[in-house]
Structure formats: C-alpha cells, structure tokens
Structure 1
C-alpha cells in the first residue's frame, strides 16, 4: 500500500482514540460523577500515572500490530493481497476496541477500592471504546475505498458480507445518539447516589446534550453520504445506459447490500452489452429490418405472405478466373470491397440485402418493410451501383438485374434453422437479367419493373429489346438506362 493511505489509516485510527481520551479525562475531572475521589491528589496522580504508562505501552504496541496486519508479505499472490486489503478495516477496528477495553480494565483495577470512581471511569471508557472503534471502522472504509473499488469491481461479491446496512444504521444510532444518552442516564443515576452539585450536573447535561446534537448531525451526514454515493453511481450509470451508452461500469465500494447493488448493475450492463453485441451481429447477418422484425415477433411462424417487391440481383463478372489467379487474401479483399459497395448503395435506397451467394448478392425492396416506390428505388439503386462499381475498381465489373412483381416473403426453413427470405418469379427473373446484363452493358431491368416504378425514375430507362431469358417460357421486355 502506498505511504499516503497508510498514513491516513494511522491518523484515522489514532485521532479518535486521542480525542476520546482527552474528552474522558476532561469530563472525569470536571463533570462526571466521581464523587470526591479525584479531589484527593494521590488518587488523581495514581490515575494520571496509570493512564500515561498504559498509553506509552499500548500505543506503540498497537501501531506495530497495525503495521504488521496491514502489510502484505513479500512475494504474496494477488489473492492474498486482496484478502489483506479487505480485512484492514476490521483488523484496525479490533485493535482500537482492544486497546480501549484493556484501558477500562486497567482503570477499574487501579481504582478497585474506590467503587464509584472505578464504575465511572470503567463505564465512560467502555462507551468511548464503542465510539472510537466505530469511527475507526468508518474512517478505514472511506480511506480504502479507492483501493478496494478496483478489486471488488473485478471480483464482485456474490453474497452480502457483514456489516450489513442494518448493522451500520444501528452503529450510527449508537455513536450519534445511544452513547450520549447512556452517559446522560448514567449521570442522572449518579446524582441520586453520590454528592453531585446542581451546577455541575447542569454543565454535564449541557455538554453531553450539545455533544449528542453535534455527533448525531455528523454521523447522519456521514451515513447519508456513504449510502448515497453508491446509489448515485448506479443512477449515473443507468442514465448513460438510457442514452444508449452500454460501455459503463460503476465501481463496487464494499460487499454490503450496496456493493451487491453495484455489482448487480455491472452484471446487468454486461448483459446489455452482450445483447447489443448479439443484436448487432444478428443485424449484420440478416439485415437490420429483419432483425427488428424478429425481435418484435416473439413466436415466429414458418409461414409466408404475398408481397409486392422489387428484386435486384448483382453478380460479379470473372470471379472464377480471379479465384484461379489471385491469392486468397486478395480475392477476399476484392469480394469484400464489392459487397461493401452493394450494401451501401442498397441501404441508401431503402433496400435490404437478403443474402450473399458466393460472388453474387440478392437485394429486396419492399420486404420486410414496405416502401412507397419499391420498383423505383430498386432501379435507382441499380443505376447508382453500376456507376459506382465502374469508377471504384475495374475488377468489380458485374451484371445487375432488376425485376418486380408478387413474391412470397417469410420465414423459410426448419424451426431449428430458418431465415427470412423472398421466393418467386421476380427473384428468378432478376437472376436471369443479371446473366443477360453481363454481356449487354452490365445492367438490365424488366419492363414490368418500369411499369411499377414512379414516373420520374421510369423516365430514366427505356426498353431496348424483348427476348426469352434462360429457363423461362415467356418473353421479357428488357430495359436499360437512357444514355
């Protein structure tokens, strides 16, 4: 552990004890119900000497023990270092409580033949032990928070560890209210047993009452801050997630209920990040619209519906030859560049790339989401795609075919493995038009597509021929972009 937090721990352990000892000493000599015992110089001298000797012996011993308990042995593994770090507050608290408890025993022993003095000093010292031990624990947990948080964030607690929030609330009441009230009650009882002037009783009541008010305020503020900090961290994390930023992790401060809350939030955020990663991956595989449709339909059915769609089929020219003469890495690079252009252009025109088939791609306009002018969008995408590939890379020459009509769209396959796709005559016709286009200018559309397209886009095309395409029985009017 660096010197700075170690020094802060030492200060936080010694300062409450020193302050408590001074307060008890002043109160015992000026206000506590000790009767006339301390008025005897020999009694006062005996108690002062006993207190000084005890402090000279106990404080160095406590410091040595605390240093030993907070030091990680050289060569220890990470698990051991983490275990020592997590035990520091409890260890230092136990040292403080032990020192004060033994001090109470020493004072009671020294004043054994003066019963009321022994009782007064013993009770006040034990109550001081309760306060100083609690303050020591709180101080240690606060100082160690920056060092504990990375450990617990990487290795979050799996179950609640003590002290729980309920225990901390009780401890806060004890320190801020319980101990001062017990002292007041003790003073009240003492006034009935020993000689206790009224003015001295008033001073004690005012002093303890004022101390109770101040300690209650400070303890309440500290407890509220300690509880609110982790909740505020979680609230800020939730706000970032609500804004769509899933790469958020909140620090885990301790292993109480608050630590479990923070760890639970981190687990939730990790799950959301994984869900978004899978959603993104799913969308890349099947298309954003299909992915969104699958999310909305919690019980997908293997059924299809008739949809009015336009289909664009693009097939790379000479891919077989390229596969024979290119290195695998170079061929994959060319294909990736080719498909990147296809995806960019198709999506810009509200289309959806249904599938990649080796060196070809099938794009659909009008399914799964309807668009106002599906045929016109497909024709515009074909023109832009042809122009883009011609200027991008000579090796990306392709045949582009466009068709439109009624097709069956839906989930096709088996309940164990299916995909959303379109089947029908427009798909077959677009593939045959793509073959035709490879040797007739690179782009071809069916006359039926022009008939379904908006007038503005249709005006950019003209029918140039009519023929029976391979594998078909009827004549197809073939259109190409106007020069």
Structure 2
C-alpha cells in the first residue's frame, strides 16, 4: 500500500523539502532556491523601472542619442554587475553566517540570532545596491539632462522598494529549512520582524510608495500647468496598475508566510484531537507565529507526559481505580459486596535462598502476569502485589453482575495456567466473598484504593489453608453460594473448618476436577 503524503508539508511548502534531510542536500536546495528568488526579485524591480521610465512617467526620453552611453551601456553593465555582486556576496555571507548548519550541529545563541536575521541582511544588501543605482544614475542622467532627475529618482526608488520587499519575503521563505534547524535548539523569544512588520512592508510597497508617486505626479502637473489629460492619466493608470500587481504579489507572499505556520499547527491539532499524541510541529518561523508553533509543541509534550503518568498510574493501581481516582480523589469509601482472590507463592523463602535474585524476580513476574491476565479477563482488578502474593478484587470499584462467579472462574483459570506455565514452583489460591469497605485510605498527601473487611482476611486464610490441599485452590462456601449456577456447579462443597485467627467456621469448596 502506497503511503499517503501529508496534507501539509512540515515546512509549509513541498519545494522546501521534507524538513529533515541530509546536510548537503539541504544546503544545495536552499542555495539554489535563494539565488533564484533573489534574481527574480531584481528582475521584477528592473522591469518595473524600465516600463515606468520608457512609457509612463512624464519627462524627457532616455532613448536620445546624447543619453545612449548611459542607457545602453552603463545601465545594463550596472544591472549585471549588481546581480553578480548581490548573488556572490549575499550567498558567501549567508553561507558564512550559517556555517553551523553545514556541520549539522546546534547553533549557539549568537548564531541563532544571526540565522534569523539573514533575510534582513540580504534585504539590506539589495537595498544598498539599488541605492547605489539611485545615486549613480540620478547623477549621470542629471548631468546630461537635469529634467530627468525626478523621473529617474522616483522610478529607481519605487523599483528598489519592490525589490527589497520581495527579497525579504523570498529569502525568508527560502531559508525556512535553516530556520527550522536553528529553532530546534531554542524557541523564538523576540521576533526581529513580526507579522505586523510584514503587513507594514506590504502596505509601504503596495500602497505607500505608489500613492507617493501619484502625489509627486500631481504636484508636477500643478507646477507645470500645461499638462494634458492624457499626460496625467497615463502615468496614474500605469502606477496604479503597478501598485495593484505588486500589492497583490506581496499580499500573497505575506499571506502564505502567515498561513503556513498556522496551517501546520491546525493539522497537528486535528491529529491530537483524533488521539494521536505523537503529533509535532516543525518550528520554522522566527516571528510570533513561531512562538505559536513552539507553544503547540510544549502543549503536546505536556499531553504526552500526562498520558505517560496516567498510563503508569493505571498500571500501578488498575485502570478502573485510576479513572475513579481522577473523578473522585478524596478519602473515604463505601460498603460493597465483593469477591476476593488471594494468590501466594508456596515455599518462597526457600526459593529466594536457593535461586539468584534475577531468577526469583522473573518467576514472580511470570506468576503475576498470569494473575493479571485472568483477573482482567473476568472483570476484576489486581489491587496489590505484596512480595510473593497478589490480591484481586471483583465487584469494586466497578460493579459486575456476578462478582462471585467471576472470581471463582478466574481462580480456576489461574490454577490451570500455573500448572502448565510455571512448573518450577507452586502457588496457592483462596477465594472468599462478602461485605467490605472499598475506597481510598491513607492521608491526603498519599492514599491508595483498597478493600478492607472480612472477605479479605478470609481469602488470605483460605490461601494459607490451600497449601495443604492437593489442588492448592479453595473457596468459601459463601462465595460458591453467591455465584451463578453455571459456575457454582464447577465447585464441590465439603467440610467446615475454623481457619486460623477466625471465630466462625468456613465451609470449604474445591474445583470439581480436583480429587
């Protein structure tokens, strides 16, 4: 059967990989993706500048013969050099800052801060390169044609703003695998660029800068006084179109970077709600959303720890007792009609003196495993292990229809299995029934669920007496009388015996198959 792919990749996108992969493969993936996205961001910015300068923003043309050296030599040369410099310098600095990731080790606190700041550093580098273009070409075009200064300055600043915004969002996306590796060592505590910063960045590039450009055009039109409707409408429509396109692109990028962490948490939450406590989230966001992811993991760890304690508690006191304790954790009890089984290893003192401790423990574990299996099968619970003996209760804390019959059937099943599975030793079994106090005893700081009363004492004495009988299994006549006919017929009542420490005689009953 083919394994179904997860609905949401660990890093929010399948092109970022599975979240856990080899160091070399992750480095190649990140480097190729980062380089491609940074080139794409610069090409988008360059295309915006070319269209605005050539066809939209009013002013002298840059395609005249006098401006030919600047337009067709200096501009392409600077673009190519800036791309190469940005890619080489940016990649080199990034790899140097992320050297710890290439050695597959946990980063130090300082390295963690640097890793989360890499998108900002790359954005700053792109901003410096575009500011260099702004200064250089405003100067060159301004010397050749002073009226071109507003046109060149505005378009390069607008293109640079778009590039910087895209560069930050693109690099943050491409570096998610590194961020996830870094955040394995620590939870993001103070986001350098939170969700609010992303939204403000989107507003600035998608609305703020274009609106400022439109205002500049309006001021220019008012100052010139002779601008036609066409001259005013064309740049306004073009800049509005650029604003719509870039605003949509940045909004989609911000929405993706915001939704991806939330979606991973939502999917993991659904798994937890379905009972899968192994669900975990890869923390890859350095903002408040990363804190949300890390917070979910802390919650899941707490649930797993709680479930482990619950399971351990249930193993110690029994599942039913554990549930009852969680619902009613106070001291006290109630009188219940119960049946009690007492199982004791015969000759335990001699066994402990002649066998190594490890073999004694193994023998006891196999004995108790049989007792637990059969008691659970017939609806009782093992109340406690006392050295080489076990005490099982039927009828408390949960009521069962035929507690006497269930206890007698469990006693027979235990005796039959021990004869086959524990041939190197023998165990005696006593069964009694009657009224007893069942509940929590002890102190508020520490208590246990137990059963106190005559049936417990009688079962212990019957177990002691059973050591002298051929079948080593005996029950009280009262237990047999309280059982359903189907089980009572499997027992044969005999003489009455006054057991040690008791005042009233007890009628004995043994299984029918015992001679």
1:398 corresponds, among 408, 413, 427, to 427
2:40 corresponds, among 6, 15, 22, to 15
In 2, the alpha carbon distance for the partners of 1:253 and 1:373 equals 58
What are the ranges of 5 or more consecutive residues in structure 1 without an aligned counterpart? Answer: none
Mapped pair 1:156 → 2:187: yes
Q: Does the 8 A contact of 1:33 with 1:190 survive in 2?
A: no
Q: Which residue of 1 aligns with 2:452?
A: 423
For 1:71, what is the secondary structure of its paired residue?
helix
In 1, the alpha carbon distance for the partners of 2:118 and 2:288 equals 20
Q: Does the 8 A contact of 1:308 with 1:366 survive in 2?
A: yes
**Alignment CA distance shift 1:461-1:39 (3 Å):** closer
The farther-off stretch of 207-216 and 86-95 is 207-216
In 2, the alpha carbon distance for the partners of 1:115 and 1:282 equals 84
The farther-off stretch of 126-135 and 223-232 is 223-232
Mapped pair 1:315 → 2:328: no
Mapped pair 1:117 → 2:148: yes
In 1, the alpha carbon distance for the partners of 2:220 and 2:32 equals 41
- The 5 A counterparts of 1:361-376 are 361-376=390-405
1:277 corresponds, among 308, 313, 316, to 308
In 2, the alpha carbon distance for the partners of 1:286 and 1:238 equals 31
In 1, the alpha carbon distance for the partners of 2:241 and 2:76 equals 29
In 2, the alpha carbon distance for the partners of 1:9 and 1:282 equals 51
What are the ranges of 5 or more consecutive residues in structure 2 without an aligned counterpart? Answer: 1-25
1:389 corresponds, among 386, 394, 418, to 418
In 2, the alpha carbon distance for the partners of 1:201 and 1:48 equals 28
Mapped pair 1:379 → 2:408: yes
Mapped pair 1:341 → 2:370: yes
In 1, the alpha carbon distance for the partners of 2:432 and 2:146 equals 108
2:490 corresponds, among 438, 460, 464, to 460
Q: Which residue of 2 aligns with 1:65?
A: 89
Q: Does the 8 A contact of 1:343 with 1:353 survive in 2?
A: yes
Q: Which residue of 2 aligns with 1:79?
A: 107
For 1:208, what is the secondary structure of its paired residue?
helix
Q: Which residue of 1 aligns with 2:388?
A: 359
Alignment RMSD, CA only? Answer: 2.3
In 1, the alpha carbon distance for the partners of 2:196 and 2:116 equals 20
**Alignment CA distance shift 1:388-1:293 (3 Å):** same
Superposition deviation, residue 396 in structure 1 = 4.4
1:41 corresponds, among 65, 73, 81, to 65
Q: TM-score, normalised by structure 1?
A: 0.92
1:212 corresponds, among 221, 233, 243, to 243
1:145 corresponds, among 176, 186, 192, to 176
In 2, the alpha carbon distance for the partners of 1:410 and 1:126 equals 79
In 1, the alpha carbon distance for the partners of 2:166 and 2:62 equals 30
Superposition deviation, residue 392 in structure 1 = 1.3
In 2, the alpha carbon distance for the partners of 1:83 and 1:164 equals 14
The farther-off stretch of 159-168 and 334-343 is 159-168
Q: TM-score, normalised by structure 2?
A: 0.87
Q: Does the 8 A contact of 1:314 with 1:400 survive in 2?
A: yes
In 1, the alpha carbon distance for the partners of 2:141 and 2:457 equals 107
In 2, the alpha carbon distance for the partners of 1:56 and 1:154 equals 39
In 2, the alpha carbon distance for the partners of 1:222 and 1:206 equals 24
Q: Does the 8 A contact of 1:47 with 1:110 survive in 2?
A: no
TM-superposition CA deviations, 1:12-33 (whole Å, max 9, x none): 2232223312321232122212
Superposition deviation, residue 201 in structure 1 = 4.1
In 1, the alpha carbon distance for the partners of 2:210 and 2:42 equals 17
In 1, the alpha carbon distance for the partners of 2:372 and 2:165 equals 65
